[in-house]
A and B are shown apart, each in its own frame.
Chain A
Amino acid sequence: MNCDATIRDLDEFLDGTLHRESSASIQLHANSCMACRGLLERGRALRDALRDLPVPAVDPGFMERAFTQARQRHQQKRTLARRWTYGAGGALAAGLALFVATTIMFPGPADNSRDLSVITVALADRADVRVVVHSTADLQDATFTVSLPDNLELKGFPGARVIRWDGRLNKGKNLLVLPVIAHGPVAGELTTLVEHEHRSKAFRMNVTTDGYIKSISTERIKVMM
């Protein structure tokens, strides 16, 4: 091993990717060559300094803002595409309909706790909880949030207690099917919250794991098994 070979193989030596015999030769040569020993030391120091370069910590709120922004931008594009399809007149009419629908659809308090439905699911069996949402007009960009009691799982979302997504409501009846599975004793509320702009409506039902459907309540909400 000589100085030229050391310089040539320096990177692989420092990265630990050089063949064992070659590495040993370089180390042996460096022990007796002050210039190459200095080269190796500076190489190691540079490598260590690069590894220690600090990076600013991510702002805890940034990730949430970024995901929200991505979703909103996607919705805007989708909405724009639809409006472009329907034309300017259609867009104006849709905007008007949205406002009217909001005021008509959400006349009551956000959280309606009266007359809770009680539904029962069998352990480890899939059950489809059906929620019928009446809307008086088309609503774009509504947000749905399903909150589950302990031991009840929404199919495809193991371990998730709250599932949130965006969708739209058509004028008239809208059927929301929630496939659920009870992995243990369930005694709690399953809540479906529908939000649009600054208004919301919560559909709540008690879920247990024995017996059958005890009741179906309210004129606006129908829950069927």
Chain B
Amino acid sequence: MGNILKFSDRATERVRFEALLRPHMARLFKLACRFTGNVPDAEDLVQDLLIKLYPRCVELEKLEQPAPWLARVMYRMWVDQRRRYHRSPVIFAEDLVQFAQADAAVNHVGAVSADCPAQRYEREYSRRRLQQALYDLSDDHRTVVLMHDVEGYSLNEIGDILDCAVGTVKSRLHRARACLRQCLDDGTF
């Protein structure tokens, strides 16, 4: 026989990879959206994550809790991208309007609400200010707020994902919230 086709190896490479990753994709995508602030960059980040992980299927299978590990890998990739971005002398115009997609979603939500126009406008205005205040935070502070207050990760999970002490996470969260409150402290919140 010229060649024994390695069914188990070949089959598992694709099928097992997808079986491992699919249950986590929705949450990873949401997290990517929170990190990047827009859909195209979030899709790129998730795509890069899959490309990076595809050859590491065996390593993935050995993980007892893949969810925080996946989030950690994606977070590091995002941090690397941000570093490269900050080193770059070029800033693209579309990067100046981050959260535009989220704003569009807000508009859509507002459009189907039964509230009166004044209430819709007020809520939308508040959300836009909150998104802008989030965007004005440092990356570290914004990340912990988005992961904890928006996405609901626990402090321990965040410490694990960001590879830092829980005390550090608490401290960043405290400062970030204080900054947000200060930015928004006109009675709106």
Instruction: Please report A residues at the B interface, Cβ cutoff 8 Å.
Output: 11, 42-43, 45-47, 49-56, 58-59, 62-63, 66-67, 69-71, 73-74, 77, 133, 144, 154, 156-157, 160, 163-167, 169-179
Contact = CB atoms under 8 A, between A and B. Distances in A.
Contact of B14 (A45, A165, A169): A165
By Cβ-Cβ distance, the 6 closest A-B pairs, closest first, are A172-B2, A170-B3, A70-B50, A54-B105, A165-B11, A167-B10
Nearest to A74: B54
B43 A66 contact: yes
Q: Is the interface of B mostly helix, strand, loop or mixed?
A: helix
Nearest to B148: A15
B46 A66 contact: yes
B72 to A, nearest CB: 19
Contacts of A43: 177, 181
B91 interface: no
Contacts of B51: 69-70, 73-74
A49 B170 CA distance: 20
A70 B54 contact: yes
Given A67-B50, A157-B15, A167 B6 contact: yes
Interface residues of B, number: 58
Contacts of B55: 74, 77
Contacts of B13: 165-166
Q: Is the interface of A mostly helix, strand, loop or mixed?
A: mixed
A11 B173 contact: yes
A43 B12 CA distance: 49
B136 interface: no
Contacts of A49: 126-127, 130, 189
A52 B188 CA distance: 15
B19 to A, nearest CB: 9
B102 A56 contact: yes
B34 A55 contact: yes
B181 A171 contact: no
Given A56-B102, A67-B18, A69-B50, A156 B8 contact: yes
A55 B102 CA distance: 6
Interface in B169-189: 170, 173-174, 177, 180-181, 184-185, 187-189
B106 interface: yes
B181 A54 contact: no
Given A49-B189, A174-B2, A175-B1, A165 B150 contact: no
Contacts of B92: none
B126 to A, nearest CB: 7
A76 to B, nearest CB: 10
